[in-house]
Amino acid sequence: MRFSLDAIGIPYEVVAAIDVNPIVNKIYQYNFGSQGHSQKNILSFTTDDIENMKLDIITMSPPCQPFTRVGLQKDIEDARSISFFCTS
């Protein structure tokens, strides 16, 4: 998503970069540095956590594994797809 913002020329400041996968995190840090970077599950954020970041925009790349043809093809039954659905 960061490359997309760069490509269209929108000025931005990265407040946080989060991923649960340690390999993905190493790649991100190699390319962009570690400022604002955290390794955690986005589901662990509270409303206060998000509000305290004073965000104008959130970009994200949702997990694709539940929906790929090569994977287990569990679709919405895969626990990794929970972030797509309202639980209340």
50 token code pair:
């998000």
Identify whether 86 is a catalytic site residue. no
64 token code pair:
């694709």
Cross-strand partners of 19: 39
Kindly report the number of other CB atoms within 10 A of residue 49's CB atom: 10
12 token code pair:
């931005």
Threshold 0.95, pTM exceeds:
no
Q: Over the stretch 50-88, which tens digit does the pLDDT of each residue have?
A: 899 888 888 877 677 777 777 788 888 887 777 767 655
Residue in 14, 50, 58, 64 annotated catalytic: 64
Q: Over the stretch 15-56, which tens digit does the pLDDT of each residue have?
A: 889 888 899 889 989 998 888 888 988 888 899 998 998 888
- Rounded to an integer, what distance in angstroms lies between the CA atom of residue 12 and that of residue 6? 9
**Closest listed residue to residue 33, CA positions, set 56, 14, 61, 54:** 14
